[in-house]
């Protein structure tokens, strides 16, 4: 089976700069989910799928912020901790990308269906400018080309995330520091806070296991 080739740089720049850029754009994009939810309380109705999309954006936003903090505070002594966290962030970004493609396909289908419905009603105004007949085709071209470019960029960004995380997992495995990760966690004194912290560390460990299985094919 042919392996997927991962980029060694981000447009000629170091990978960590690419990951910071990707997560920065992702966090800004997910911040729009808060405005989407707020619109419900301001009397602006949104559809069910739009509400789901906004809720997912809100849930992913703190994960991307944690990923940004993990990269900016990357130190050799904490690299194993960062590896688990970036594994979780990478899986979240892959899921986010797949979800965005599905929503894009749905909204594109909805848009085309709406265009077809409008096309069934002939224009009776003889004074309509004939130059406007090119507008739907132009809008279609812009919509399709923009969608293709954005999805291609997301695919490349996903490869950058995978490549950077793969490099960190190799370092962690070569240094044999995976087990030290569980012992180095500093939990708050409150039992409830400790419970949530332990659950989060377990999520990172599971993500690290999943991402290592993914790396068998890339």
How far is the first Cα of the chain from the last one, in angstroms, to the nearest whole number? 10
Q: Is residue 208 part of a domain?
A: yes
Domain count, the chain: 1
Q: Is the pLDDT of residue 182 over 80?
A: no
Is 125 part of any domain? Answer: no
Task: Give a yes or no: residue 126 inside a domain.
Answer: no
Range 48-52 average pLDDT: 81
* β-pair partners for 13: 10
DSSP assignments along 15-83, one per residue = HHHHHHHHHHHHHHHHHHHHHHHHHHHTT----HHHHHHHHHHHHHHHHHHHHHHHHHT--GGGHHHHH
At 216, give phi and psi (nearest 5°): -70, -20
Task: Let me know: does 217 contact 3? Beta carbons within 8 Å.
Answer: yes
- Provide φ and ψ at 136, rounded to 5°: -60, -40
122 found inside a domain: no
Residue 4 in domain: no
- Against a cut of 0.75, is the pTM above it? yes
212 vs 3, higher pLDDT:
212
| pLDDT (average), residues 102-120 | 70
> Which has more pLDDT, 129 or 6?
6
Note down the domain range covering 175: 15-116+139-214
Q: What is the pLDDT of residue 184?
A: 42
């Amino acid at each position: 089976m042919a392996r997927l080739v991962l980029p060694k740089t981000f447009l000629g720049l170091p990978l960590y700069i690419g990951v910071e850029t990707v997560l920065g754009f992702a966090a800004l994009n997910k911040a729009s989910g808060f405005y989407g939810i707020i619109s419900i309380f301001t009397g602006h109705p949104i559809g069910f799928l739009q509400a789901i999309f906004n809720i997912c954006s809100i849930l992913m936003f703190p994960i991307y912020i944690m990923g940004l903090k993990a990269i900016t505070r990357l130190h050799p002594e904490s690299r194993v901790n960062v590896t688990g966290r970036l594994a979780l962030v990478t899986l979240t970004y892959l899921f986010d990308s797949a979800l965005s493609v599905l929503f894009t396909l749905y909204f594109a289908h909805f848009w085309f269906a709406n265009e077809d419905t409008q096309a069934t009603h002939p224009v009776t105004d003889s004074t309509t400018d004939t130059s406007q007949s090119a507008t739907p085709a132009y809008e279609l071209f812009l919509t399709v080309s923009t969608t293709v470019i954005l999805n291609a960029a997301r695919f490349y960004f996903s490869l950058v995330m995978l490549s950077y995380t793969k490099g960190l997992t190799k370092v962690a495995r070569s240094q044999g520091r995976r087990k030290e990760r569980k012992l180095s966690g500093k939990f708050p004194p409150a039992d409830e806070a400790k419970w949530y912290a332990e659950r989060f560390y377990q999520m990172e460990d599971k993500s690290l296991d999943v991402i290592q299985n993914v790396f068998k094919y890339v």
